[in-house]
Amino acid sequence: MEHQICKSCLMDFTDTNIKFDRKGVCNHCTDAEKKIHKYQMSKSDGEANLKRLFNKIKKSQTGEYDSILGLSGGVDSSYVAYLAKQMGLNPLCVHFDNGWNSDIAVKNIRNIINVTGFDLYTYVIDWPEFRDLQRAFFKAGVVDIEMLTDHAIFASLFKIRKAHNITTVLSGTNYTTEHGMPRTWSWSKMDLKNIKSIQKRFGEMKIKSYPTMNTFYWLLMRQFNIGGTFEEPLNQINFKKGEAMALLTKEFSWQYYGGKHYESVFTKFYQAHILPTKFGIDKRKMHLSGLIRNSEISRQEALSELNKPLYQEGELKRDKAFVLKKLGFSEKEFDLIMLEKPIPHDVYPTDQIYIVPLIKFVKWFLKKAKIS
């Protein structure tokens, strides 16, 4: 198959499901063209949205805190913390410490807490158990090793929310910089059955303290607000990553860490080495394409950024040695794993076989109810 790159963004056939129209524009761009205008608005409209969100959150407050916010030290969650302060909210900030924090992330979190005055709860995971889970996912050969962290973040957040009688969860998820993720590049973050199945087959420890969350409950929360509400403030404003970074630097002496989610040492190694080397995936294509569609950078600027090396000279050797030592892999063992053929997540038991039809049914039901 002849290599083809989208005429509007950077996506290509490394997304095996990609489709191009007659003009050579990919399905991610055509899809965004239909939706992105909903998230691009005037400053006054954004302020009005945040005011309505504030009133909604305060009206539903049942405990000491009006909301709970997962804080990683990255752009998105840090900017949500800034907006929460501007709105006059009093969230409980929760940091999920999975053992891979970079020094920059820790400093960013400390600065944000010092300036905002928010309370911070640090959830420290049991490292031996989490390491065993990560090792199991490496051995399983699946693409989304990071689903372990993502799942645990949401699960721990909801656990703490319940303990403190907090109704509203504030999330940094947003459409403008995160849309267009190919399905084959990741897996459902809340697929607990998949996690347990892989751990049972390849792990050496039983899951005891690792925070988990039932997929069905997650859907009830997201679709019907059962058990609380899940709010996305960045979708309520005209969110621009570049402008957000500049403001965070000014307000919190915030520091950039070099890439999407690189506030985690493991995530940087995963996205900049494991994914491109073993799976042929360079997530910068998706991240930069989102910025192109959001009119933050030109396609030429994005191409120039994509042509830069994923790792600076010497960094890869350093990070590889650190990650392997921390995970307990020898270099030979790790290199052999990297040479093995990737294995799809659904080779192992998964709850997606009934969740996907359920989602389709819910969407159909809501559409029919709206019509009637």
Residue 75 pLDDT > 60: yes
In single-letter form, the type of residue at position 72 comes to S
Tokens of 201: 């087959």
Q: Residue holding tokens 């799942």?
A: 151
Helices (H), 61-146: 75-87, 103-116, 127-140
Q: Which of 326, 338, 317, 320 is nearest to 139 (CA)?
A: 338
Q: Which of 73, 67, 157 is nearest to 110 (CA)?
A: 73
Q: Residue holding tokens 């916010």?
A: 69
Q: Does residue 61 contact residue 53 with C-beta atoms inside 8 Å?
A: no
pLDDT in tens, 237-251: 999 999 999 999 999
Average pLDDT rounded to a whole number, residues 216-238: 81
Q: Give the mean pLDDT of the chain.
A: 92
Q: Is residue 12 part of a domain?
A: no
Q: Is residue 250 part of a domain?
A: yes
Give me the number of domains the chain comprises. 1
Average pLDDT rounded to a whole number, residues 77-92: 97
Residue 262 pLDDT > 70: no
**What's the rounded Cα separation, in Å, for the pair 282 and 145?**
15
**What's the rounded Cα separation, in Å, for the pair 237 and 28?**
22
pLDDT in tens, 280-305: 999 999 999 999 999 999 999 999 99
- Alpha carbon distance, N-terminus to C-terminus of the chain: 47
Tokens of 364: 């159909």
What is this structure's pTM?
0.91
Domain that includes residue 120, residue range = 42-264+345-362
Residue 366 pLDDT > 70: no
65-69, 152-156, 223-227: which has the minimum mean pLDDT?
223-227
Q: Which of 264, 267, 265, 272 is nearest to 322 (CA)?
A: 265
pLDDT in tens, 5-62: 999 999 999 999 999 999 999 999 999 999 999 999 999 999 999 999 999 999 999 8
Q: Is residue 222 part of a domain?
A: yes
Q: Is residue 25 part of a domain?
A: no
CATH of the domain at 123: 3.40.50.620
Q: Is residue 306 part of a domain?
A: no
Among residues of the chain, what percentage have pLDDT more than 90? Answer: 81
Tokens of 175: 């459409």
User: Distance of CA 103 to CAs 203, 295, 323, Å?
Assistant: 29, 31, 15
Tokens of 99: 């053992």
